[in-house]
Amino acid sequence: MKAVGLILAGGNSAHMKELTSKRAVAAMPLAGTYRSIDFTLSNMTNSGINTVAVISQYSSRSLNAHLSSSKWWDFGRKQGGLYLLNPTITPDNGSWYLGTADALAQNLEFLKERHEPYVVIASGDGVYKLDYNKVVEQHTRTGAEVTVVCKELAQADAKRFGVLEVNDEGRITAWSEKEDGEPKEGSSIVNCGIYVARRRHLIQILEECKLNERYDLVRDILIRHLDTKRIMAYLMDGYWTNINSVESYFACNQDLLDPALRHYFFQEEPLIYTKVDDFPPAKLNSNACMVNSLVAGGSIINGTVEDSVLFKKVYVGDGSTVKNCILLDDAYVGDNVTLENCIVEKHTKIADGTQEKGSRGEIKILS
């Protein structure tokens, strides 16, 4: 594919609370063995994009460790590859990334050294499957200057995102960010955080932003130029969500308990790939009971696990019940514990006899 990929993975979300105190949102664990960035990386490689740069900043250690080998997504090659672009303090630049546009602008040299005619920019916190070739094809066919990938949601769900209005031609005519208040009645087309532009055109736009001290990709480029640039919408089908709050993170893991959705992502071509760790299969002892749950390798289960996602090396003790929960790597649940609607942070030990219950509207985080 004649495009270079840029993954925006440097952000943090206050709505993720303490879950992002140790990791970037793009490194959030999903479905037992995956990270949220795996979906975007897999979409890139499955679309034939050979050169991808991950732009990171906040709590990047966990993310960088996950990306330490590019072979899992087939980027270990002579032509192209996987690049990690962190903020660099130089004589000409003395600041961290001040926004998404600034993150791109501070890495202009990377774009200028490439030869691909198009750039695909994608957020690292989206969970979806998409052939970016189809977006580029529509981009060239419609003569767009920027194409924004969108998804139509129920209006109640759309309130979490930037909401767009699109005319019959497919051009975006209005754009309201989630910070601007309630979307207008009937608005349900949301921004998925995926953009396509010509590389040279994008370089020109970013140079102008840098000159004018504008730092945000959406507000300072897209919304600002709706009337002067041809900014088109690409409506995608299939499952899509992003991880931007504790509730959305919990809901996404719960969605992935659906066998049909797991088959779609992890067994139906093209697949979603991740870094593989060598752990023995999960062990369910004779007194264990597991219902509609995902349990990753290295885990040992003695109690009852229901409608839950357990990551690597989790231990659940005798007489314990884990229901509607997410237990991250190396979590330890003692004997006679009851957990419901909880997220247990990695390496956390839950003492014997503990009783912790959250609700679907207020998930408890135990750390």
Res 88: pLDDT: 73
Kindly tell me if the per-residue pLDDT of 187 is higher than 70. Answer: no
Mean pLDDT for all residues in the chain: 91
Query: Which band of pLDDT confidence, cut at 50, 70 and 90, is reported for residue 120?
Result: very high
Query: What digits encode the pLDDT tens for the residues 71-89?
Result: 999 987 777 899 999 887 6
pLDDT of residue 182: 56
Tell me how long the chain is: 367
Has residue 121 got a pLDDT over 90? yes
User: For residue 22, what pLDDT is reported?
Assistant: 81
Fold for domain 283-366?
Answer: UDP N-Acetylglucosamine Acyltransferase; domain 1 (2.160.10)
Per the model's pLDDT, the better-predicted residue between 225 and 325 turns out to be: 325
Indicate the fold that domain 3-266 takes in CATH.
Spore Coat Polysaccharide Biosynthesis Protein SpsA; Chain A (3.90.550)
The per-residue pLDDT for range 122-150, each reduced to its tens digit, is 999 999 999 999 999 999 999 999 999 99
Has residue 304 got a pLDDT over 60?
yes
76-113 core/surface letters (b: 16 or more CB in 10 A; e: else): eeeebebbebebeeeeeeeeebebbbbbbbbbeebbee
User: Residue 156: its pLDDT value, please?
Assistant: 62
What pLDDT score was predicted for residue 97? 85
Is 186 a residue whose pLDDT tops 60? no
Interval 245-274: pLDDT, tens: 999 999 999 999 999 999 999 999 999 999
Residue range 275-296: average pLDDT?
A: 95
Phi-psi region of 338 (alpha: psi -120 to 50; beta: other; left: phi over 0): beta
Task: Kindly list the domain boundaries of the chain, sorted by start residue.
Answer: 3-266, 283-366
